[in-house]
Structure 1
Amino acid sequence: MASFEASVQLNATPQEMFDFLIDTENILKISPPDTGLSFTKKPDKLYKGAILEFQIQGFGKVQEGTHEIIVFEEPTLFTEKQISGPLKSYTHEHHIVPAGENQITLIDRLEFEPPGGLLGFLITESKLLDLFDEGFYQRHQTLKKLFP
């Protein structure tokens, strides 16, 4: 299984960041526009057991996916896991680590497996790592603007 990690320092308390990230409208605000992310089913706020059904633009076509929140430890961690989607497997941990007064480090950790079959020849681990790197860079830049 492949992995990816990105982090960013932000001016917020752990609770402020946690509350922001579990609000599903905010997920749309910080997602890179070129992903075309849209939810087809979602709660207003995430919680353990919450299901997110979504569509995302990837590799020239709209992909559908479903994620479940499998870990929910307020205000420092929540984890989403792919139930169905374009990858063979995908897990995203959102860690919020205190880093001083009114400062946190947000760490995004992914474990994933590219799709199998013919699609796996196009959507390789290397291509996915490049996409994650670009996407989380954009996401973190947006968060820096929202939490200066």
Structure 2
Amino acid sequence: MSLIKLIDFRTFSDPRGTLAVIEGSLDVPFEIRRVYYLYGLSGDLQRGFHAHHELEQIAICLNGSCSLLLDDGRRKETLRLSSPHQGLRIERMVWHEMFEFSPDCVLMVLASEHYDEADYIRDYQQFLAEVENAAGP
């Protein structure tokens, strides 16, 4: 099963433009508790480098593009995100890194929980150990 899980949002277009609709627990598989976005990003720098114990996210590139690496401790997959009507689901216990930001990139993230530093795993070796422990003998 692929780590890359894309969600196509409902869109409505007419001569005035396009409206994309995202409703928590309908278009995304959780109630949206937090929204944040990144912009003014340097194309040669990377972000992310963490996983979450419980939090789930949907990453949406509202403008421009960026690449994301997803890693569940057993396999890694990379995707270029560039559509404002499509979101990438990042499930709990998936290490993620974002890179190759276009100069005009605006990356919005919908999160299932409020910010909680205790939910973050910021050390990759700790992440791998937790994945191994969860898998059991």
- TM-score normalised according to structure 1 size: 0.28
Q: Pick the structure with more helix per residue.
A: 1
Higher relative contact order (CA 8 A, sep 6+): 2
TM-score if structure 2 supplies the norm length?
A: 0.29
Query: Could you say which structure has the higher strand fraction?
Result: 2
